[in-house]
Amino acid sequence: MTNSVQTATAPAGGEAEQPRAATTRVRRARGLPVALGVTLLGAVVPGAGLVWSGRRYGWALVGATVLLVVALGVRFRSLEAVLDLAVDPGRLRAAAWLITIGLLLWAASVGLTYFLVRPRPMRAWQEGLGVLFVAGLCLALASPFALASRYATVQAGLVTDLFEGNETATVPVDVTVADPWGNRERVNVLLLGGDGYVGREGIRTDTIILLSIDTGTGQSVMFSLPRNMMNAQFPADSPLHDLYPDGFDGYGDPAAWMLNAIYGQVPALHPGVLGKSDNEGADAVKQAVAGSLGVPVDYYVLVNLTGFREIVDAMGGVTVNINEPVAIQGDTDRGIPPVDYLDPGPDQRLNGYEALWFTRGRWGSDDYERMLRQRCMIDALIEEAQPLNLLRRYQQLADAGREIVRTDIPSPLLSAFVDLVLRVKDSEVRSVAFVSSPEFFPGDPDFAWVRQTVQKAIAPPPEPSEDDERGGRPGPDGDSGEPTPTPTPSPSDEEDAGTAVSVKESCAYRPVG
């Protein structure tokens, strides 16, 4: 049932004319339940409640809503588009303002809808119930958008804090937004885990992993270097090469000349040697890894391991395979036993504290086993980084990241890195760990062999032959024989040979004994 109002005017002479055909038609609900239902419709589809009430301008609001939804669906139809927005502080802040303004307009339309369609008269308790319903409706439906506005503001601040204003002396100078890789076939990012707890001066980078990424395919290789490697080399054109032509070495405590000491030692011994920088230690380690492996190091990402557990806890934990007990705490050098162990088993779910000791535990094992666990932890973090999982814990991750992460990746290149990282996530990541073997001794490394191993690992795979495509190799009579499978190296084989192997394969569950 509806109420209608018709209006007619009398001529100036005073005699009434017949009513005109044009009428203005308005509707009010006959009861409170109908009014609340129409208000709900107007909240879900802005303008629909106004259309029901007979207000023509409601159609304009409905049309604008449909166009906005279609435009957003087209613009953000892929994960890449969403992530591109997530790394652009200017667009994020604009989005936050637009969301806020849109929410205010939406709330005004909901309130106006109820005001126009509510039945008249109403009793006092009905008036109160209607107001409470409208307020609760606005609060419930606006909460996700208000949260989105807040996250956009937080993300803009995080990107600004981490990626803007970081000046280092070793970033590439031939890159632009249009050509983010400077015609490079590979971009190399140094992943550093710094140990900066109380009782140790500065930071020692006990985790040193170079991630080399094919800029076209995303196929990647991780190169792990031991923290105790001596005589680290520097590129021939580096000022550090002039100071240490035979490698990083000197008098005094040998621990001061290991690879993990470069981050603190070089800035202390030779401040400003590489040029103006906000992080001279990271620049020095980049140079050391570049000279030792024989490939350029473009950027670095440093995570302070004392805060690593916060990242894992913020993500809700990680899942790894544990092949043998891993010690929690303990000091082999001083004979202090562990306080506990991580039990072996497949798909073990670890919290931040446990994940920290999974990557750091050395009691009963050595640096090389720890390097393997560190590579597995990186893979586990990549697997855990699902969009919905990150969104649920975003505020915690942002707070933790702001405190413990440093990098020299410039913000204008973040969009290109987002696209590249998504390709990495969808491709196979291989791994090479330089560990003690007949070919490699960390106390006096054969860097010629190291560089050959690196080049072999990053070389593109050979084109398959006709026999390979048929799935077999020619037999003695020239016919194709049975398919010859490629053996999967065991952990010891892969470590000794310096072979590039799949991270997933090397981190699979293989219980010892």
Question: Tens digit of pLDDT for each residue in 72-117?
Answer: 888 887 777 877 787 788 888 998 999 999 899 999 999 999 999 9
Q: For residues 206 and 154, state if they share a domain.
A: no
Alpha-carbon distance of 168 to 109, in angstroms, equals 51
**Residue 240 pLDDT greater than 70, yes or no:** yes
Per-position DSSP letters for 186-253, written without gaps between them: EEEEEEEEEE--TTSSS-EEEEEEEEEEETTT--EEEEEE-TT--S----TTSHHHHH-TT-S--SS-
**Residue 134 pLDDT greater than 60, yes or no:** yes
Average pLDDT for 361-389 = 73
Q: If you search the block for the tokens 């490079």, which residue do you land on? A: 184
CATH code assigned at 398: 3.40.630.190
Residue 437 is which amino acid?
S
Q: For residues 251 and 352, state if they share a domain.
A: yes
If pLDDT is split at 50, 70 and 90, which confidence band does 391 have? Answer: low
Question: Tens digit of pLDDT for each residue in 413-428?
Answer: 888 888 888 888 777 7
Asked if residue 193 is part of any domain, the answer here is yes
**Residue 12 pLDDT greater than 50, yes or no:** no
Asked if residue 136 is part of any domain, the answer here is yes
Asked if residue 52 is part of any domain, the answer here is yes
If pLDDT is split at 50, 70 and 90, which confidence band does 147 have? Answer: confident
Residues 6 or more apart in contact with residue 261 via CB below 8 angstroms: 204, 255
User: Residue 394's pLDDT is what?
Assistant: 64
What percent of the chain is predicted at pLDDT more than 70?
79
Please report how the helices 394-404 and 308-315 are oriented relative to each other, as an axis angle in degrees rounded to 10: 170
Weakest mean pLDDT among 67-71, 158-162, 330-334, 340-344: 330-334
Q: What is the pTM (predicted TM-score) of this model?
A: 0.71
- Domain count for the chain, please give it: 2
Residue with the bigger pLDDT between 330 and 101: it is 101
- Cα–Cα distance list, 413 to 144, 159, 176, 403 (Å): 30, 12, 8, 22
Alpha-carbon distance of 233 to 256, in angstroms, equals 15
If pLDDT is split at 50, 70 and 90, which confidence band does 290 have? Answer: very high
Alpha-carbon distance of 367 to 370, in angstroms, equals 5
Q: For residues 154 and 67, state if they share a domain.
A: yes
Alpha-carbon distance of 234 to 239, in angstroms, equals 9
Q: For residues 48 and 148, state if they share a domain.
A: yes
Alpha-carbon distance of 249 to 257, in angstroms, equals 5
Nearest to 299 by CA among 222, 455, 408: 408
> 420, 435, 458: which is the final residue of a domain?
458
Asked if residue 26 is part of any domain, the answer here is no
Question: Tens digit of pLDDT for each residue in 169-190?
Answer: 899 988 888 889 988 899 999 9
Alpha-carbon distance of 504 to 475, in angstroms, equals 33
3-state secondary structure 369-438: HHHHHHHHHHHHHHHHCCHHHHHHCHHHHHHHHHHHEEECCCHHHHHHHHHHHHHHHHCCEEEEECCCCC
Q: For residues 115 and 222, state if they share a domain.
A: no
Residue with the bigger pLDDT between 261 and 22: it is 261
Q: Which domain holds residue 377?
A: 186-458
**Residue 455 pLDDT greater than 90, yes or no:** yes
**Residue 22 pLDDT greater than 80, yes or no:** no
Asked if residue 59 is part of any domain, the answer here is yes
Q: For residues 196 and 330, state if they share a domain.
A: yes
Weakest mean pLDDT among 11-15, 55-59, 405-409: 11-15
User: Regarding beta strands 429-433 and 220-225, do their DSSP bridges make them parallel or antiparallel, or are they unpaired?
Assistant: parallel
Secondary structure class of 42 (helix, strand, coil):
helix
Q: For residues 141 and 224, state if they share a domain.
A: no
User: Residue 495's pLDDT is what?
Assistant: 43
User: Residue 390's pLDDT is what?
Assistant: 61
Q: For residues 263 and 399, state if they share a domain.
A: yes
Q: For residues 144 and 193, state if they share a domain.
A: no
DSSP 336: B
Nearest to 502 by CA among 426, 432, 423, 425: 432
Alpha-carbon distance of 408 to 13, in angstroms, equals 85
226: preceding bond cis by omega (within 30 degrees): no
Asked if residue 147 is part of any domain, the answer here is yes
Q: For residues 267 and 140, state if they share a domain.
A: no
Asked if residue 253 is part of any domain, the answer here is yes
Asked if residue 23 is part of any domain, the answer here is no
Residue with the bigger pLDDT between 300 and 384: it is 300
Q: For residues 117 and 206, state if they share a domain.
A: no
Q: What is the mean pLDDT of the chain?
A: 80
Alpha-carbon distance of 288 to 234, in angstroms, equals 5
Q: For residues 155 and 193, state if they share a domain.
A: no
Phi first, then psi: give them for residue 441, nearest 5 degrees: -125, 115
